[in-house]
Structure 1
Amino acid sequence: MSVVGSRTPAGPAGPARPAASRAGRLLLGAFAVAAAADLGALLAGWHLGHVIAKPLLMPLLVAHVLTRGAPRLLVAALLFGWGGDLALLFDADPAFLVGMGSFAAGHVCYLVLFGRGRTGPLLAAAYALALTGTVALLWDGLPSDLRVPVAGYSLLLTAMAYRAGALGRTAAVGGALFLLSDTLIATGVADWPQLPRPDFWIMATYLAAQYLLAMGALAPAQAYRREVIQD
């Protein structure tokens, strides 16, 4: 029997869904506004604006995905990303390591969330080549105490980016953008030439990555719930 058919619109689930949908749209709009404010502050070189806007980003995205019944691992991944965001507001090596550790924990959450879905061997080869090439090129430019942590983190990040493809194209693009964002950070640490306003490009690719990963992770979870409800 259909669960949907067993409830009337006036039942407990009736008014809650439209309310959750409205809240979700408002929260997503707030996330977009905060993202625009943060990126605008970076373009303008207004550090205080970045410090104010950046801590709002992941909590707003978390609140949005919660209104859509997000899996716990997705919420955890985004919250670990928030921890990394906060740590990287401080310009010091210990804060960089703390931030990298927090992002690494988020990647582990994503990897578990992605499960064992199929991904192509050519994509695996491309990511393996990107990993080895990037680490080899950056190695001499990195501070000696950061080389091993950055290499280990890069392995975990690349694995997450590769496995994101198991959830479809949206998550796959998100994983690739996350890899690009953190590679831009690493090139800065290694004192490579940078694009104008490098922090803008780092945050722009990072925000797009987290949003696309979240949307890619929500799609199968929502499809599963629809199947359960209609069973």
Structure 2
Amino acid sequence: MANMKEQTFKINPKFRLTTKYLSVFWHLVDKETLQCESYIVMPDHHVFSSKNGVEILVHYHDGVLDMIYHPSTVFESKKIQKWLRELLRDTILRIAQDVLPKRVRYWENLKGIYGTGVTVKRLRRSILGQCSFHNHITLQPFLVIFKQEWMDGVILHEMAHYKHKHHRKSFWNYLSILLGKDSEAENVKNDIALSPYYEYYLYLTKK
């Protein structure tokens, strides 16, 4: 089922993304208006053009991606899809590099345990986070498009490895203390796989 979703999924005006850290909004305008707006110089202003002129304009500001297009924009175009996918992926990475280290520091200060640093970078799809032998955490940037509690669950899981470098019972007992609930009853990976945004994750991380 996941592979089928990945093959048919497209970023177009039906695409919905509304999360704590990033939301996508679509705006339909006439072609002349889109062309005029594309000339405006401002930060985080991205334009996709073809031989027919400007096809789509994207503006990022304060956790919002405004997608501006005209009635004839061909979202089935492989070039447009690649451009949109890479733009969205890079925006998520940029947001995650700001949000996730702050969230780790928040939990470290709250729990009174500390690691040696945080890196945010793309990992294999099946990997949400890692903790090194020297207590350096690496996190999957796409965590920011899922529920805050799932993001925090992954962070606390990796923080539990500060004290336990394994997944034996002592690890799960300690993680339960950090979570404030039974860690073995929690399965963040399964929760994320059932999320409505999981297909976005598959599409954005494909090569």
TM-score exceeds 0.5 = no
Larger relative contact order (C-alpha < 8 A, sep ≥ 6)?
Answer: 1
